[in-house]
Amino acid sequence: MSNGPIVGPAQAQATLQKALRGTELEALYRQHKTPAAQEHGVNAVDSKGVNPIDSFMNLLETKVNDVNSVMATSDQKIQSFVRGEETSIHEVMIAMSKADVSFRLMSQVGRKVIEAYQEILRMQV
């Protein structure tokens, strides 16, 4: 586990938003919401009547919020341990490990999504 600084939940969400700002994912989302894109079938729905882009974005947002809550729980456990409240070191270490693994997984998924999008851009039509 890294010995880096502990990032609060608000800071983690702000950091993630800054990381995605200006990337191809944000450009894709803006393109998806334009009226011209709607005319060309970008907003197509699947057999269940769900737009796959919106459902994927909702899934990503849900998972980012889940990671945020795991990090907030870890931060609360650390703070209660430091204040001397009845929190065992084992609980603190487990919470920190969960937060670390969750954040690393979220980072890897973000990288893979961007790599997949870049690969799609390189495809010749």
Range of the domain at 98: 9-122
Q: How far apart are CA 87 and CA 110, in angstroms?
A: 33
Q: Give the type of residue at 60.
A: L
1 falls within a domain: no
Contact 77, 91 (CB under 8 A): yes
pLDDT digit string (tens) for 64-91? 899 999 999 999 999 999 999 988 999 9
Give 4's pLDDT tier (boundaries 50, 70, 90).
very low
16 falls within a domain: yes
Total domains in the fold of the chain = 1
Backbone angles phi, psi at 71, to 5 degrees: -70, -35
Q: Can you give the pTM of this predicted structure?
A: 0.58
pLDDT digit string (tens) for 37-53? 444 455 555 566 667 77
19 falls within a domain: yes
Q: How far apart are CA 109 and CA 125, in angstroms?
A: 26
Q: Reduced to 3 DSSP states, what percent helix, strand and coil does the chain have, rounded to the nearest 5?
A: 75, 0, 25
54 falls within a domain: yes
